[in-house]
Structure 1
Amino acid sequence: MSKSGTGDVPPDTREEIMEATFRALSKHGYSNLRMRDIGEEMEMTRQVIHYHYDGKYDLMSHFLEYIIEQYEGSVEIDGDAPPREELDVRIHRCLFGPEFEDFSHWDRMKVYHELFTHAQNDERHREIFNEHYGRIRGSITEVVEDGIEQGVFRDVDAERMGQMITDLIHAARGRKLSLDQEDAPEQTWRSIDEFILDSLVREE
């Protein structure tokens, strides 16, 4: 358990610690990362990390939540947007990400996926990833359900559709990051658009 819940860490302090963690992870990787490495990336004293977090494991759990917050909080959709438009926005954001002042979307995804590879041996991180994937899948499923109710989408299994799109997004990220297939996100975006979303729309 952390010494201080996320809500108890001053926002500026939390952001500095988390962004320093990004920089340190990018340089050293997860396996070789030391708290000292994070402290060297900060203007604040390293002791502030130890004051708020119970070591590397606790910090990494909060760091993972920080990454996820950035993505889940970055999707802004007009409440009156048609279901197809909302799906486009949500899927595009998952594939290409928001813009950041420091570290690009793919810099951040590289760190995210490195932590993902360790989740099989880490119950807490696996739980955080599962919750995040559940929310992505759920948000897509909900839009599909709304489209079906409005009569603009065909009557399909919305949960299976949400799972398939979520799986495609994850596979595209993995291809780019692990296999260096730079065009994977764009290829997947075009495939989802043409083979899934176009066919999902009910014909007049």
Structure 2
Amino acid sequence: MSDSSETVSAKDTREVIMEATFRALSKHGYKDLRMRDIGEEMDLTRQVIHYHFDGKYDLLSSFLEHVIDQYEGSVEVEADADPRTELDARIDQCLFGPEFEEFGHWDRMKVYHELYTYAQNDEAHREIFDEHYDRIRGSIVEVVEEGIESGEFRDVDATLMGQLVTDVIHAARGRRISLGHEDAPEQARRAIDEFVLDSLYEA
């Protein structure tokens, strides 16, 4: 077997394990999750999991990074898109997510937020979430700064605006997941448009 074939095979196997972890976490929750539960969610033998990961904690750390990569790597904006279009795309991605063939956006966010809750007692996972938060905020700040430099937006505190938008996104997702307020993302989107993004333009 060639090296390239081995690489593709390993990548595909890890993808299968990650998706099985999604399903297992959705059914059993973080606290009660066992490696056996993940093994039962895939056709491969449980030994394959132990070959790729050094136990449950290593697997969940990789899983967390996998979830984040799925979202960060799937924002699609045309190269010549104006700053407002790019802001809209990034905010919509965070609030409504990309399309998935199986296990939809809110199923994935439910798992994400459960891990987020437990991160308060886990320094390594907290660091992963913190870096993710910084990247979301940073991407918004960067687009706002580009809009200011190009003259499309008025001069504002881009860092503070990025902070506000990111916090609204997190609060809306948490309200939908924890309190069952299904209209929270749409309400947050309208509020961001009316009270935040529209303020980028001169009156």
Report the TM-score, using the length of structure 2 for normalisation. 0.95
Q: Distance in 1 between matches of 2:36 and 2:79?
A: 46
Q: Which runs of 5+ in 1 are unaligned?
A: 1-6
Superposition RMSD on alpha carbons, in Å?
1.2
Deviation string, structure 1 residues 106-138 (Cα, Å, up to 9, x no partner): 000000000000000011110110111111000
Letter in 2 for 1:167: D
Query: For residue 26 of structure 2, what is the aligned residue in structure 1?
Result: 26
In structure 2, the CA distance between the partners of 1:142 and 1:128, relative to structure 1 (3 Å rule), is same
Superposed counterparts of 1:143-162, under 5 Å: 143-162=143-162
1:166 and 2:130 matched: no
Query: For residue 177 of structure 2, what is the aligned residue in structure 1?
Result: 177
Q: Secondary structure at the match of 2:42?
A: coil
Superposed counterparts of 1:23-102, under 5 Å: 23-102=23-102
Q: Distance in 2 between matches of 1:15 and 1:201?
A: 43
Q: Matched residues, percent identical? A: 74
| Shift, 1:77, TM fit | 0.7
| Shift, 1:52, TM fit | 1.0
Q: Distance in 1 between matches of 2:162 and 2:61?
A: 26
Letter in 2 for 1:171: A
Letter in 1 for 2:55: G
Q: Which runs of 5+ in 2 are unaligned?
A: 1-6
| Shift, 1:152, TM fit | 1.1
Q: Secondary structure at the match of 1:10?
A: helix
- Which aligned segments of 4 or more residues in structure 1 are displaced greater than 4 angstroms? none
- In the alignment of these two chains, the number of paired residues is 197
Query: For residue 4 of structure 1, what is the aligned residue in structure 2?
Result: none
| Shift, 1:202, TM fit | 3.0
Question: Residue 144 of structure 1 contacts residue 158 of structure 1 at CA under 8 Å; is this kept in 2?
Answer: yes
Report the TM-score, using the length of structure 1 for normalisation. 0.94
Query: For residue 140 of structure 2, what is the aligned residue in structure 1?
Result: 140
Q: Distance in 2 between matches of 1:106 and 1:8?
A: 29
Q: Distance in 2 between matches of 1:96 and 1:9?
A: 31
